[in-house]
Amino acid sequence: MQDSDSLKDYQQVRLLAIRSLFEIIEQSSEGTIIVDRDARIVWMNERYARRFGLEDASSAIGQPCESVIPGSLMRDVVNNGRPILLDMLDTPKEPLVVMRLPVHDAAGKLIGAIGFALFDELRSLSPLLKRYASMQQELASTRSLLRARQAKYSFAQFIGTSAASLEVKRRARRGASSDSPVLLLGETGTGKELLAHAIHAASPRAHKAFVSINSAAIPETLLEAEFFGTAPGAFTGAERKGRPGKLQIAEGGTLFLDEIGDMPLPLQSKLLRVLQEKEYEPVGSNQMIQSDVRIIAATSTDLQAAMARGEFRADLYYRLNVLPIQVPPLRERLDDLPALSEAILEELGSQHELEDEAQALLARHAWPGNIRELRNVLERTTLLTDQLRLGVRDVQAALGNLAPLQVQAPQVNYKQACAEFERQLLENTLARCAGNVPEAARQLGLGRSTLYKKLVALGIKSQ
């Protein structure tokens, strides 16, 4: 009996709560509307009617909700039976915060929907909206920054199938799988920065930022601040909030140090601390910041010669030189010229093709500017030529003075030179004597047995 009374009390309290809730929302809201199963208005309070230009609410009865409230989604609620608990409704005066709920009969059948305009001014929600807008702006800024700091190149864009190129890509792919420093060595224009991007793109850090800094392009007085960042008010003119350095921006990702051979000695010692201790201090700060970045360095400078001159720290060199990759100049991988030329022309959006003779001319040039120079020459050729077939004259006009390849004589020591001279002398004498060893020995002034021994030692066959 007690349980029955308790259940009756619950039902009564529930009905009272529902009635009270409706009355409170209807009285305090800026508008209330009820529609039937066909989304036609069956009731609307006077405040809502006046907001939408009606003299009285009765004139809205029977009309489709959209004809009275443009942009209304009440029809969606009665069609799918799902509530829209919080939404924005644009009106001619100002936006409204609205709530829409489905209405069911005692048997649970959907018979209509009810809508409340909760606020006509957004002042009460402004703190929430401001925080939401701020979070959205911060997220968009972070995504934009991350997109700008993504790797631009992959290993597929390092063109070449020569033995030298394949070895470079093999070592670079191996380096991508670890967090060890990589040191890219080679002349300017050989593709060191492209490889740095590709290593990052193939590494577990690919989803994080790729940040580059060129030691030769930034004044020495600003390089430390650019690298480590600054504390608030670290020096006159510094930003009040401080400024993050490239190390902080690259956190969790990869920091590419281009032309590291030009880094000043004081900064080299601080970089060494980052590599060894994984920590650093911003300029003007006493706070130690932990660092998790992968370092890829590149230089066209002979670092060993720089160490001998005292211009580069030996301890930093050995810390960076964990995985050195020597990127060969173009003159040492001329087999890649056809593929490189085709890729560059495609990148330029050109329909031009190189004739065989023009390609042969390119192969006779030493390319002191490497791939960067090749791109420059091909772009100039396409701009100066009306024909789609690029001939020798077209390429020659764009190339200018040919820098011929230097053919280096093979290095031979004294013993090797003597052995080669002796071989040539014996072979020529035997040929002159029609293979007659005794006659060849007489002309050479050697004993016959001595000549036989020499022929066997040198692998020269006699008749």
180-236 residue pLDDT tens:
999 999 999 999 999 999 999 999 999 899 999 998 888 877 888 888 888 876 555
Q: Are residues 92 and 213 in the same domain?
A: no
**195 found inside a domain:** yes
The CATH number covering residue 424 comes to 1.10.10
Alpha-carbon distance of 127 to 135, in angstroms, equals 12
Q: Are residues 322 and 262 in the same domain?
A: yes
List, as own/partner pairs, every contact residues 38-42 make where C-beta atoms lie below 8 angstroms and the sequence separation is at least 24, other chains included: 38/78, 39/64, 39/65, 39/66, 39/74, 39/75, 39/78, 39/79, 39/113, 40/64, 40/65, 41/65, 41/68, 42/112
Instruction: Tell me the average pLDDT across 437-456.
Output: 84
Q: Are residues 340 and 320 in the same domain?
A: no
Query: Would you call 311 exposed, middle or buried from its count of C-beta atoms within 10 A (0-12, 13-18, 19+)?
Result: middle
Domain end point (choices 326, 346, 365): 326
105-116 residue pLDDT tens:
888 899 999 998
The CATH number covering residue 32 comes to 3.30.450.20
**406 found inside a domain:** no
Query: Would you call 351 exposed, middle or buried from its count of C-beta atoms within 10 A (0-12, 13-18, 19+)?
Result: exposed
**135 found inside a domain:** no
Q: Are residues 246 and 308 in the same domain?
A: yes
**92 found inside a domain:** yes
Q: Are residues 183 and 305 in the same domain?
A: yes
Given pLDDT bands bounded at 50, 70 and 90, which one contains residue 361?
Answer: very high
Alpha-carbon distance of 198 to 170, in angstroms, equals 12
pLDDT at 323: 93
Alpha-carbon distance of 307 to 305, in angstroms, equals 5
pLDDT at 1: 45
**134 found inside a domain:** no
Alpha-carbon distance of 433 to 254, in angstroms, equals 72
Pairing of strands 182-185, 84-89: unpaired
Higher per-residue pLDDT: 23 or 225? 225
Q: One-letter amino acid identity for 195?
A: L
Q: Are residues 304 and 175 in the same domain?
A: yes
Q: Euclidean distance between the first and final Cα of the chain, in Å? A: 131
Given pLDDT bands bounded at 50, 70 and 90, which one contains residue 444?
Answer: confident
Please say if the pLDDT value at position 144 is more than 60.
no
Q: Are residues 209 and 321 in the same domain?
A: yes
Instruction: Tell me the average pLDDT across 5-21.
Output: 65
Domain end point (choices 123, 146, 171): 123
Pick from 186, 148, 151: which is nearest to 167 by CA?
A: 186
Beta-ladder partners of 353: 389
**DSSP state letter for 282:** -
- Total domains in the chain come to 4
Share of the chain above pLDDT 90, in %: 42
If one counts every other C-beta atom within 10 angstroms of the C-beta of residue 12, the result is 10
CA distances from 364 to 158, 177, 372, 382, 427 (A): 22, 38, 17, 20, 35
- Mean of the per-residue pLDDT values for the chain? 84
41-53 residue pLDDT tens:
999 988 888 888 8
Range of the domain at 454: 414-458
Please say if the pLDDT value at position 125 is more than 70.
no
Q: Are residues 300 and 352 in the same domain?
A: no
Residues 6+ away with beta carbon under 8 Å from 202: 154, 155, 173, 176, 177
Q: Are residues 199 and 70 in the same domain?
A: no
The CATH number covering residue 272 comes to 3.40.50.300
Please say if the pLDDT value at position 422 is more than 60.
yes
Beta-ladder partners of 365: 404
Alpha helices per DSSP H over 290-447: 303-308, 314-320, 337-347, 356-362, 370-384, 392-399, 414-432, 437-444
pLDDT at 93: 72
Alpha helices per DSSP H over 177-241: 192-201, 220-228
pLDDT at 233: 61
Residues 6+ away with beta carbon under 8 Å from 365: 399, 402, 403, 404, 405
Higher per-residue pLDDT: 126 or 371? 371
pLDDT at 167: 93
Cβ atoms of 338 and 162 closer than 8 Å:
no
Alpha-carbon distance of 9 to 3, in angstroms, equals 10
153-168 residue pLDDT tens:
888 899 999 999 999 9
244-284 residue pLDDT tens:
889 989 999 999 999 999 999 989 988 998 999 999 888 88
Cα dihedral 341/346/350/355 (nearest 10): 30
**150 found inside a domain:** no
| Integer Rg of the chain from CA | 41
Q: Are residues 337 and 322 in the same domain?
A: no
**130 found inside a domain:** no
**DSSP state letter for 177:** T
Given pLDDT bands bounded at 50, 70 and 90, which one contains residue 288?
Answer: confident
Q: Are residues 199 and 311 in the same domain?
A: yes
**250 found inside a domain:** yes
How wide is the angle at C-alpha 210 spanned by C-alphas 367 and 200, nearest 5°?
A: 70
Q: Are residues 191 and 296 in the same domain?
A: yes
CA within 13 Å, CB half, 330: 26
Cβ atoms of 294 and 203 closer than 8 Å:
yes
Alpha-carbon distance of 453 to 149, in angstroms, equals 71
The CATH number covering residue 383 comes to 1.10.8.60
Number of residues assigned to the chain: 463
Domain end point (choices 399, 431, 446): 399
DSSP string, 403-433: -BPP-PPPP--HHHHHHHHHHHHHHHHHHHT
pLDDT at 120: 55
Please say if the pLDDT value at position 94 is more than 60.
yes
